[in-house]
Chain A
């Protein structure tokens, strides 16, 4: 493998990423509305029935309940898609709150933390309590 090949490959990568940016811009990560999140999870999880949900005021994260098994799901916007995790005690390392802002620490190498801006302190407190139980 020659240095020219390596240099050309790096140049090609820069060119392609730049062209991608030019054509498609930067994605604005958004999880969507609660019904949109519910519809998405219903496709992914057999038997999913949406219960209570909270969508962050910044639209970047949400927590939604599956009435079928009482499980809570964290949904976080990433690029033009989302990442979802079922919040079990094994996964959720810590839940913290500062005013209306909830911080979730996860035992997950690629998804170590998430922040949820609840919109009001009372709502944040209510969901903090639910997440801790």
Chain B
């Protein structure tokens, strides 16, 4: 049983292409806001790197689309059903895509192979709308595609999967800003917002590995990874070891180079595998920092020196 022809040919717009002019307009508006209000930061070379990487990501995505198509075709014989184009299927697709995004995102912070790609998005020390466009170039070299399998196997039409995922990514653009503080509580409780996502991009020990949501923050609340932004904890953005380069190629490949060096110098097959699959920062002797070790050290320090916290 192949994928039905109508499932492959149903035309839906590419949300990212439609949204691109709005992205540009909103970045301009945010720059003006930051200049006039002093809330937020822009730096020319950082912005250039982010935008070039956004462009590179679109090109790389287009070049490797065939992988997704091939993957979908390979799974087609095993689809449980064909859900078709009914409104509730669209709703279910939005929800399920957001849930699988959550797990892909969480895995991308906890498995170094996936982190090597996702770290590129986190590599800016700034948090503004241009940061949203700093997208990875190397997704095709990760097993991230497998997170799409449940939706394909459940029988969601392929163009629908691509469309709802595009909507999800477009939604995430506007939450990369310091211009918006907080929304009313019901919205903050359900939706991923600028406040929640600032926490996700922060390197403060108390915020590490939290708020993986795409559109709905409820997944983090359900799976125990939610952290609220605190008035006394202004986020510091970037990664634990911030990069010393604006070169987009160095940004894109630095973690891959790190993995290559570690794997080729590993003393055993087990170490080599763990350099690839363990959390970022893992080392056989524990001499490097992982987000877990940073949080543990910080919690010990807080317990000893900040008992009122």
A residues at B contact (CB < 8 Å) = 1, 5-6, 8-10, 12-13, 15-17, 19-21, 23-27, 43-44, 46-47, 76, 78-81, 83-85, 90, 108-112
Contacts and interface: CB of A to CB of B under 8 A. Distances in A.
Given A1-B17, A13-B55, A23 B242 contact: no
Contact of B254 (A1, A76, A84, A110): A110
B43 A24 contact: yes
30 contacts: A6-B55, A6-B58, A8-B20, A13-B52, A16-B28, A19-B28, A19-B31, A20-B31, A20-B42, A20-B43, A20-B48, A21-B44, A23-B34, A23-B35, A24-B31, A24-B44, A25-B44, A44-B203, A46-B297, A47-B297, A47-B305, A78-B242, A78-B244, A79-B45, A84-B242, A109-B250, A109-B253, A110-B243, A110-B250, A111-B244
A20 B41 CA distance: 11
A19 B33 CA distance: 13
B235 to A, nearest CB: 11
B24 A46 contact: no
Given A16-B28, A17-B51, A79-B246, A9 B58 contact: yes
A85 B241 contact: yes
A46 B296 CA distance: 10
Contacts of B48: 13, 17, 20
Interface of B: 17, 20, 24, 27-28, 31-32, 34-35, 41-48, 51-52, 54-55, 58-59, 62, 125, 130, 203, 205, 236, 241-247, 250-251, 253-254, 257-258, 287, 297-298, 300-302, 305
Nearest to A26: B44
- The A interface, classified by DSSP as helix, strand, loop or mixed, is mixed
B250 A46 contact: no
B55 A23 contact: no
B295 to A, nearest CB: 10
Given A12-B20, A79-B125, A81-B242, 7 more contacts: A6-B55, A12-B24, A13-B55, A16-B28, A16-B51, A80-B43, A83-B242
A27 B125 CA distance: 14
B244 A5 contact: no
B51 A13 contact: yes
A23 B262 CA distance: 43
A78 B123 CA distance: 13
Among B17, B58, B130, B244: residue with most chain A CB under 10 A = B244
Contacts, number: 107
A64 B282 CA distance: 26
A44 to B, nearest CB: 7
A24 B130 CA distance: 14
Among A8, A16, A109: residue with most chain B CB under 10 A = A16
Nearest to A85: B241
A88 to B, nearest CB: 8
Contacts of A24: 31, 35, 42-44
A97 B254 CA distance: 28
Contacts of A111: 243-245
A86 to B, nearest CB: 9
B242 A109 contact: no
A131 B254 CA distance: 25
Nearest to B242: A83
B44 A27 contact: yes
Nearest to A40: B236
B246 to A, nearest CB: 7
Contacts of B47: 16-17, 20
B6 to A, nearest CB: 23
Contacts of B27: 16
Contacts of B300: 46
B20 A5 contact: yes
Nearest to B65: A1
